[in-house]
Structure 1
């Protein structure tokens, strides 16, 4: 009873308190009530203000973190790329976007380069930057060892050019180097058209150049100074005949100008050309030609602190021109690196290259004939000759920001996919590049990986595309300049790192490890899927009605069919497999360093669990592994008539828009192709997996992925096979053959063929056939067209997309060597 009273007494006390509060409120009157409302409104306003401030603070914080470098010590030690720490790599052909040029690995480097002009009606076409529209029938490095020398051939409408360079170490600034340009005409009548060669040297805001003239028109030499180079002399030797013994008659012109920026050098020269000059060889006909005259400036541009000095040589081919660069810090120089000395040095480097190539890849021992060995040498050399050194700022944006911001200044030493179309760094391409370069030069490859990891921000994000500096930006459409902080890219650098791991020095791995850990965590935190152990690429196209299937640029597979309606429920198979690989490599690095590897191994085991993999990604109706998401199989593109135009306005053109004929629902995506192969490509499937026979059968089916030229990217019986994605977007990863994925397939098949299991013999047979088909087609297409290509037709084998593409297509060298 006592307890019940206490309960009742408590309730009565609360009631009495409410009564007293009511009486007090009644005594206040209406004025006092309004005051309370005012106070309440003020409190709400303060709360809203605090919320607004909090929102702004969140945005500011996100922007700050977006452009804050990762706090770990740099993976690349400071000054490790300078002339004292790395003299043999200081100078190089690090300007992949020009047909021939050299610069140093310094942020504001002195640059040198070559332009040429076949004289003709209207002045001809000035060649400088690599452009597919130039229509050159062939250009590329035949030999290039990445350090000491290179030999390139260029064929331009009857003109044959050979560009050669050799470096010689010495002094404190990277030593000396020399160029030799050999020119001749092939298959042209008489008289032979005149040819002008333009050799230039330019600064970009630091350093000084002084011209040394002969007879007021011939630039014989340039002396100069630069912060990273000290003093130097650049000498332009007089042209000779092809025997290099007799002088060759030539006309000379020179240009001195304030540079409006390295990205506008072509425009400076083109705007300076005049045809008031006359070529007057002794005993020959007089001919008018175009030459540099005076530079009046470019519209809308103000001169900068940079200088440009240009030496023009006009001659009637054949002929040879040599250029020498001599560092002022070289003491006891044996001789000028020209003429016979240059020829001897080239011969020595060619012999050393051929011997090293055979020792590394063994193609001669494998029975490849000499033409195919030369093809493989050119593929490797084009990749090495496409190395670039870039400096500048990325343009980045967070989802919390309304406006993009500039990232901190950064430098990047990297290979590039294509000198003409993609002469800049791409994150997922670079891992494939380094698979090959790691075999040729492990030190070089380790350095490139460190450069990429040093681009990481404090969140652990690395922008997928690196557009650093004005020259790089000039080759990129504006809509692709911006990098979004939620967008990932496959961590293919880990493929190369795994290959380098056994021999990588421990101090190097110790510098990398904090950044690898941060990168790994960033993927896990930002790309997590809707269920545990699932993953989803962020950044799919946000306007699905514009596309037959919204693109997924983050995956690297662009328009490969995913769920028709992007949603948070998506599960992306390829990203899950990449994360299994990442867990494996992080565990191996940790174990080598003696760091805790348990969490990585646990994640690797979970992501490699074949039963869970089947549960999440096996599509019974497809008989293959697949993505999962909000998907409609009944979509198409149809022409939509525009609305009537306003009075006085022209009618708008019809547009292709997406039509959804069946409502989407959560299901597996009915697209059998490269994504379906990822459990095999990254070797997650056990050799005794009951799903392995179906995967191998799809690979060998001609109705699905098999062709005489390699594995196609999307099965012929898939609904979106070779379908356009928009009115202006032809199919890309919807049937074409891509060398990087075919290389992963060869690597996996080779492994399954050498591992005990019920599918061992079938894997071995597929491996032999696929390797033959891929290698034979790439060699045939290179012989016919002169280029490696971005991708290849699944119906004819012909090269498609951009060219030259000595990026991951150069992996054909490893396929020939059976080096996995």
Structure 2
């Protein structure tokens, strides 16, 4: 074909391709239609990507929420206003002996309070370093110390006994000015043997926390003697601490001006600031003295720690006068004779109020027994501390502990020497006594505790707030975990307080109830949602270690009864009778408060009715085999502690394991689900909280068992675990002695006497039996506690069930101080 013909045909095809519905037009349309599809695909991919990102963000936010929930405050109105503890609102209680862990110290109820405290040492003992007294410490070996009178507001008097001399600390407060008034403290020392008077150095200091902001101190020196310290803080304004001249023979004065990095470092700074000087002109008697101004060039701030030292041969008296510059119309200084007369007036008022509150003289108690009771109450009141800081907490969602929010806590402490911090389950018992003495202080303490509630309704059971408190606690006990409860013993005191407030017309009482109720509601709901058991309306303590290899019986620290025998193998199927009774007790009080406020009370009353129904309780916890109330769980008694044995056939050159290896737990026979029939305090809970019906034959069995000396009865009180129990007085590990496995505990004996008093006053077939037991048990307890106090100088954590001797930490004027209520028959 010629080239022209090919061109003609190409043109013809080109014309055909561009006419009608030819192929070229169809391709164009497909491309045009594919653009919306591409756009839709892109949008879909974008939406998927955005959704993925959104889900990832939501997931991260949810994970953050889970990790932060443990330290998120409850979304409820606070019980305390932010300035409720301030000098403007409550000037009478602004200053106080709120440093529980010190032999003597003063501070305000403010997070940034200047702190003041006493230290002392006996000279010429040739000990290095010198035995410096400051924090209450059992290892100091003092024969005796403690408050003899303390009213919680105006004054306190304390007696301290050393081997060769006695010391008395007194303080008195007075109104005046705009910043919480003023106070004076007097330290008096007297030798035991006038022919050999010891020489003692008294050191009184004032310190600022390193985070005290604009606060500052200025020393005033007079002839090389620290005569006073002037200071300023936001809460106190301008103030001064005056050290009047002392009256004694052979006295010398020294001082220390230094920088204190943290309050728990006071001892270190003082000891590092000491030097040895000559006491006599012949330079034969060296004594320890403070080194003057010792502030390094690298100090991060001006001096915030000043110590006034007086060294003298006894007798010796030293006054410390705190004055506010805002007190412009002061008529006289609270010192000398004016101090003494004011102290005597407050002391007489204390005696009068004590007699009216407890009526011990009318019950036939002798003077020494009344004096004991006054000291015991005073040590409870004088042990109230004001703490500020943040707990370390952890949930299952946190890999590492977190800091709770910073908060204040006003609380009594179990023991100034050993447990100078707040314990949730102890505090309910403490306030049974405190509320009898001063309901306002008790309401304040309860409010502080309930304001520590987080979003879930959890309250950390042990409060270790601030450097000084943390320095007293072993590392393994510092972190608090939010699945762990503690007995809600605050309901014991709340029941006592609410009984008066429900019928009260006082607007303050009604306001307290309205603030109290939503927090109790949240707290109660937390127990029911986190401590519930495997069966409906059964309950189980969390926090037991199912993987322990060192404990004979895994502890239940959350119950407060630590090593009391529970199921040998912790599982989710356990049921705990004591927790069951605590919830029953709390639900009844919740119903009463709800009714008084016009809130919905029906569910609380229904819960209380079911839990207090003896048939329901018996179906979960009555052991027909042992005829007692018991826990239920996976259990065997055949468990022992053994040291690892060497392999039977050692290979050549193979060494046997060292003989000093710690003992570990060996299961001799496999556990089965059964009642845990260790008879003791836990078995008594339906009786202790008055849940057993007064006509029930089970009450007769309980009362019969109480009096059996083979079980719990002793001449000194009810022991914690029956002598017939498998773990009675057994060590829980090779090194952990029995704690709740035999010793006599005052809080449980108080509950037992309260129950006996109730059943002795209630019509029923066992009324006379309860009366007889009540009279004898009360007499035994009171006689033994007073005997031990007079023999040893102390109240004790618990008492030996064989001898009645005091055991554990001392002085222990936490719940052991309930003996005052026992003497007064106030339940």
By the TM > 0.5 criterion, same fold?
Answer: yes
State which of 198, 202, 211 in structure 2 corresponds to 1:197.
202
Q: What does 1:498-647 correspond to in 2, within 5 Å?
A: 498-504=495-501, 505-641=509-645
State which of 275, 278, 285 in structure 2 corresponds to 1:287.
285
Q: For structure 2, which runs of at least 5 residues remain unmatched after alignment?
A: 1-47, 502-508
Matched, 1:703 2:700: no
Shift of 1:647: 10
Distance in 1, matches of 2:818 and 2:592, equals 25
1:619-678, Cα deviation, whole Å (9 max, x unpaired): 122221000000011111112247999999995732111111110010000200000000
CA contact (8 A) 1:642 1:654 kept: no
Shift of 1:108: 1.4
Matched, 1:213 2:221: yes
Q: What does 1:42-61 correspond to in 2, within 5 Å?
A: 58-61=62-65
Matched, 1:430 2:427: yes
Matched, 1:180 2:176: no
CA contact (8 A) 1:59 1:401 kept: no
State which of 367, 371, 384 in structure 2 corresponds to 1:374.
371
CA RMSD of aligned residues (A): 2.4
Distance in 2, matches of 1:613 and 1:458, equals 31
Matched, 1:111 2:115: yes
Q: What does 1:105-504 correspond to in 2, within 5 Å?
A: 105-119=109-123, 120-123=125-128, 124-187=130-193, 190=196, 192-204=197-209, 205-206=211-212, 207-216=215-224, 218-241=225-248, 248-279=249-280, 287-293=285-291, 303=300, 307-504=304-501
CA contact (8 A) 1:219 1:254 kept: yes
Mark the CA change 1:232 to 1:450 in structure 2 (over 3 Å): closer, same or farther. Answer: same
CA contact (8 A) 1:392 1:468 kept: yes
Shift of 1:519: 0.2
Mark the CA change 1:688 to 1:279 in structure 2 (over 3 Å): closer, same or farther. Answer: farther
Higher gyration radius (CA) = 2
Distance in 1, matches of 2:611 and 2:378, equals 38
Distance in 1, matches of 2:736 and 2:631, equals 23
1:170-207, Cα deviation, whole Å (9 max, x unpaired): 111111100111112214863x3310000100011321
Give the corresponding residue for 2:11.
none
Shift of 1:473: 0.4
Deviates further, 365-374 or 631-640: 631-640
Mark the CA change 1:369 to 1:271 in structure 2 (over 3 Å): closer, same or farther. Answer: same
Shift of 1:133: 0.6
1:673-718, Cα deviation, whole Å (9 max, x unpaired): 0000000100111101121111111111100000000000000000
Mark the CA change 1:49 to 1:618 in structure 2 (over 3 Å): closer, same or farther. Answer: farther
State which of 729, 734, 748 in structure 2 corresponds to 1:727.
734
Shift of 1:306: 6.8
CA contact (8 A) 1:268 1:295 kept: no
Shift of 1:761: 0.5
Deviates further, 137-146 or 538-547: 538-547
Distance in 2, matches of 1:647 and 1:287, equals 61
CA contact (8 A) 1:627 1:669 kept: yes
Distance in 2, matches of 1:53 and 1:549, equals 45
Shift of 1:53: 7.8
Distance in 2, matches of 1:658 and 1:55, equals 43
CA contact (8 A) 1:279 1:289 kept: no
Distance in 1, matches of 2:669 and 2:61, equals 44
Give the corresponding residue for 2:84.
80
Shift of 1:363: 0.3
Mark the CA change 1:598 to 1:268 in structure 2 (over 3 Å): closer, same or farther. Answer: same
Mark the CA change 1:211 to 1:601 in structure 2 (over 3 Å): closer, same or farther. Answer: same
Task: State the SS of the aligned residue for 1:438.
Answer: helix
Q: For structure 1, which runs of at least 5 residues remain unmatched after alignment?
A: 1-43, 242-247
Mark the CA change 1:807 to 1:564 in structure 2 (over 3 Å): closer, same or farther. Answer: same
Mark the CA change 1:642 to 1:410 in structure 2 (over 3 Å): closer, same or farther. Answer: farther
CA contact (8 A) 2:144 2:161 kept: yes
Distance in 2, matches of 1:52 and 1:324, equals 63
Distance in 1, matches of 2:456 and 2:332, equals 53
Task: State the SS of the aligned residue for 1:128.
Answer: coil
CA contact (8 A) 2:380 2:813 kept: yes
Distance in 1, matches of 2:133 and 2:788, equals 25
Mark the CA change 1:288 to 1:545 in structure 2 (over 3 Å): closer, same or farther. Answer: closer
Mark the CA change 1:642 to 1:525 in structure 2 (over 3 Å): closer, same or farther. Answer: farther
CA contact (8 A) 1:176 1:327 kept: yes
Distance in 2, matches of 1:465 and 1:115, equals 28
Task: State the SS of the aligned residue for 2:127.
Answer: helix
CA contact (8 A) 2:255 2:292 kept: no
Shift of 1:319: 1.4
Give the corresponding residue for 1:94.
98
TM-score by length of 2: 0.89
State which of 783, 786, 798 in structure 2 corresponds to 1:791.
798
CA contact (8 A) 2:750 2:818 kept: yes
CA contact (8 A) 2:254 2:292 kept: no
Deviates further, 734-743 or 617-626: 617-626
1:723-744, Cα deviation, whole Å (9 max, x unpaired): 0000121100000000000000
Shift of 1:337: 0.7
Mark the CA change 1:305 to 1:726 in structure 2 (over 3 Å): closer, same or farther. Answer: farther
Deviates further, 644-653 or 717-726: 644-653
TM-score by length of 1: 0.90
Runs of 4+ in 1 over 2 A off after TM superposition: 44-60, 187-190, 276-280, 284-288, 294-298, 301-306, 541-545, 641-653
Shift of 1:503: 3.0
Task: State the SS of the aligned residue for 1:655.
Answer: coil
Matched, 1:737 2:744: yes
Q: What does 1:741-780 correspond to in 2, within 5 Å?
A: 741-780=748-787
CA contact (8 A) 1:158 1:187 kept: yes
Task: State the SS of the aligned residue for 1:408.
Answer: coil
Task: State the SS of the aligned residue for 1:372.
Answer: helix
CA contact (8 A) 1:775 1:816 kept: yes
Mark the CA change 1:626 to 1:58 in structure 2 (over 3 Å): closer, same or farther. Answer: farther
Deviates further, 661-670 or 641-650: 641-650
Distance in 2, matches of 1:55 and 1:325, equals 57
Mark the CA change 1:295 to 1:238 in structure 2 (over 3 Å): closer, same or farther. Answer: closer
Mark the CA change 1:305 to 1:514 in structure 2 (over 3 Å): closer, same or farther. Answer: farther
Q: How many residues align?
A: 765
